Amino acid sequence: MDRRAPAAVRRGKNVPAGRIALSLLAASHNGGVEFLAGATFKDRLRVAGLLAARAGLALQRGLGAPIRAAIGLGRRPPERLLIAPQDIRTSDPTLAADIYAGYFALGGKIVNAHGRSPFELEPVSAAWARALAGFGWLRHLRAADTAVARANARALVDDFLSLAGRPSQNPAWEPEVAARRMLAFLSQSPVILDGADRPFYRRFMKGLGRTQLFLERETASGLAGEPRLLAAIALAEFGLCAEGTRNLTRKGTKLLTEEIDRQILPDGGHISRNPEILLDLLPDLLPLRQAYAARGLQPPAQLLNAIDRMMPMLRLFRHGDGTLALFNGMGVTPPELLATILAYDDVRAQALTSARHSGYQRLQAGDAIVLIEAGRPPPRIFSDRAHAGCSSFEFSVGAQRLVINCGAPDANRAAAHEAARMTAAHSTLVIDDISSCRFASHVGLHKWLGDQIVSGPDKVDVERQDEPSGTMAVLAHNGYEPRFGVIHERRLLLSKDGRTLDGSDRLRAATAGEPVERHPFALRFHIHPNVRLKRVREGRAVLCILPNGRRWLFETTAGEAHIEESIFFAAPDGPRGCAQIAVHDETGPETVVEWSFRHIERKPPRSDM
């Protein structure tokens, strides 16, 4: 928590959970003002470079506009589709009845169209508009497998083609949404086209051709980041599905392989370092692999290798309860989708334990799992969902989560999204309530750089050691060096039987011999909402009682351990209040705090609530 936030929030009084996110957000904006005033020369130079690069890209787009406008001139859309890729995402046929009745539950909002086309309505949120125009919900109509559902699907697609089927400023024509819509139209074409007359078929193919042209122009004009990879997937898949599109297949495959090489790291992680991106990409890459085979073509080696690498990386993030670790934008884990994806893992690969390219470590012993964030922020263009959580960790025992990060909320909670990215929302050390990364939105650059990270740790050292007593991970980052002149070093040792997690956090001068000013810091251990906490041993320890009755004791060498309020953003039913264990101290010439979580068989004798 930020020391500028209300004291009740900082010290865990009975404050509604929703206020915690707002307090964190207010603190983050205060921190941003301070950063502008006291930025280092290196940070100012970096920001200047980012703005110059953006200006250069805008100039490039402007100069290239005539060339882009010429792309596809005179080209006729394909006349028909030959194959329909499989949609492996989970579908629910009962939702088809809701859609037929005019209820559209999308992007965290429910809208009743009252007999009108949903494409005529004023969107209740940008997330709802994007989900509507992405047409992922068509899979529910296909799953219903009724004549009514098929007719409804065709009518809604026709509404879109008539009302919003041309490129515009509408969210429907954001590149990522357009690519998602193309993939949905291709995979759900059997339900859309069943019983369709020839004029509708022509309109449908013309709409796909228009989307193809739009995506080709966007990629030619410098579209970057995850939307570029998604556009490449959509173009390659359209080339495989449509008749007479061999040239598009070749171009789409080339773009696809280039983006896979750029965005999928050697260990299988995505360059954004967000576990959720793997969940987003694999349901598109797996059917694409099948589409190449269905057309008698050899899938590109980059595609096959990427899938093979991504599977064990996905398993690295997986806790014992089947959910994924809450790092760098990960929110709620869809369990059915994750299970479906892993069922396509032909070799049943073991989870990675060390992913140095992606910046993660996994310690596992007995039924205990420790997942560690040990990397630098991703490249700027991929950082708009990244968090300031370097050196944070999560800890689970069997199917029970114990130590967590706060996670990412859904798209409708902008204020919570900003709060969730702060270092204070992670189970790590935070100095003076200042995050280890600086965000564009907190330094007055949101207009130009959006939610991107402008600076953060650029040196993260990681060592992994097998000790006689267990496995140790040692990491150090310099995210606090520009502001406080210190390096944060963390050691985590998981015992061989998985019954003890020992940790230590050390703050040392970045330059040997340099004085270190005194600043308050806090060690924060956010605890899953299902775990009950009780202060024991006169406040020097905290008893953690898991839902299955197992007990873990937290102890520290730094005096009292406080129980404070926190918030769990990644609950399936929305944010939930939870607790955190906090240890407060001050920096000095050499500061070391040791702590441990230890499984115990019985209650400690004394309690202090």
**pLDDT the model gives residue 15:** 39
**Statement: residue 62 has pLDDT above 80:** no
Residue range 211-258, pLDDT digits in tens: 999 999 999 999 999 999 999 999 999 999 999 999 999 999 999 999
Give pLDDT tens digits for 86-98.
999 999 999 999 9
Confidence (pLDDT) at 166: 85
Residue with the two structure tokens 């502008």: 36
For residue 539, the cross-strand partners are none
For 267-307, the pLDDT digits (tens) are 999 999 999 999 999 999 999 999 999 999 999 999 999 99
Confidence band of 44 (pLDDT split at 50, 70, 90): low
| Cross-strand bridge partners of residue 576 | 568
Q: Is the pLDDT of residue 39 over 80?
A: no
Distance CA 581, CA 554 (A): 9
Give the model's confidence band at 50: pLDDT under 50 very low, under 70 low, under 90 confident, else very high.
low
Phi and psi at residue 105, to the nearest 5° = -95, 95
Q: Which pLDDT value is given to residue 414?
A: 79
Question: CB under 8 Å to 192, separation ≥6 — which residues?
Answer: 138, 150, 153, 154, 157, 185, 204
- Rounded to an integer, the average pLDDT of 366-373 is 98
Query: Residue 370 above 60 pLDDT?
Result: yes
How far apart, in whole angstroms, are the C-alpha atoms of residue 251 and residue 237?
11
What are the structural domains, with CATH classification, of the chain? 7-52+359-600 (2.70.98.70), 83-220 (no CATH)
pLDDT of 141 higher than 80: yes
| Dist CA 82 CA 208 (whole Å) | 14
Tokens for 178?
């357009």
Give the residue from 115, 225, 213 showing the smallest Cα distance to 165: 213
Q: Is 146 exposed, middle or buried (0-12, 13-18, 19+ CB in 10 A)?
A: middle
Question: What's the per-residue H, E or C state across 515-540?
Answer: CCCCCEEEEEEEECCCCEEEEECCCC
CB burial readout 419-455, b (16+ within 10 A) else e: bbbbbbbbbbbbbbbbbbbbbbbbbebeeebebbbbb
Q: Is 463 helix (H, G, I), strand (E, B) or coil?
A: strand
What count of residues does the chain have?
A: 609
Q: How far apart are CA 272 and CA 387, in angstroms?
A: 10
Per-residue confidence band for 6, with pLDDT thresholds at 50, 70 and 90? very low
- What does residue 448 show for φ and ψ, rounded to 5 degrees? -100, -35
Pairwise CA distance, residues 206 & 204, whole Å? 5
Q: Which of 484-498, 501-515, 590-604 has the lowest mean pLDDT?
A: 590-604
pLDDT confidence of residue 589: 82
- Is the pLDDT at 125 greater than 80? The verdict is yes
The DSSP secondary structure of 496-521, one letter per residue, reads: TTSSEEEEEEEEEESSTT------EE
pLDDT tens digits along 533-591? 999 998 999 999 999 999 999 999 988 999 999 999 999 989 999 999 999 999 988 89
| pLDDT tier, 18 (very low <50, low <70, confident <90, very high otherwise) | very low
- CA-to-CA dists, residue 181 to 208, 210, 240, 328, 545, angstroms: 9, 12, 16, 26, 46
Question: Band of the pLDDT at 37, cuts 50, 70, 90?
Answer: very low
| Mean pLDDT, rounded, of the chain | 89
Give the rounded percent of residues in the chain with a pLDDT score beyond 70. Answer: 86
Q: Is the pLDDT of residue 28 over 60?
A: no
Take residue 202 and report the two structure tokens written for it: 């022509």
Tens digits of residue pLDDT in 509-531: 998 878 889 999 999 999 999 99
Residue 445: pLDDT band (50, 70, 90) is confident
46 band by pLDDT with thresholds 50, 70 and 90: low
Dig out the tokens for 431 from the structure: 């100095």
Specify the 3-state DSSP secondary structure of 596: strand
Q: What is the reported pLDDT for 421?
A: 96
In this predicted structure, what is the pLDDT of residue 60? 61
Distance CA 5, CA 579 (A): 17
Give the position of tokens 């690069």: 53
**Contact (CB, 8 A) for 283 and 88:** yes
Q: Write down the H helix ranges in 164-274.
A: 175-187, 189-193, 198-220, 226-241, 246-263
Categorize the per-residue pLDDT at 450 as very low, low, confident or very high, splitting at 50, 70 and 90. confident
Question: Between residues 55 and 122, which one has the greater pLDDT?
Answer: 122
Q: How many CA atoms lie within 13 A of 198 on its CB side?
A: 1
Q: Cα separation of 441 and 123, whole Å? A: 25
Query: What was the pLDDT predicted at 307?
Result: 97
Question: What is the Cα–Cα distance from 496 to 501, expressed in whole angstroms?
Answer: 10
DSSP element (H, E) containing 555: strand 551-556
pTM of the entire predicted model: 0.88
CA 482 distance to own-chain centroid: 27
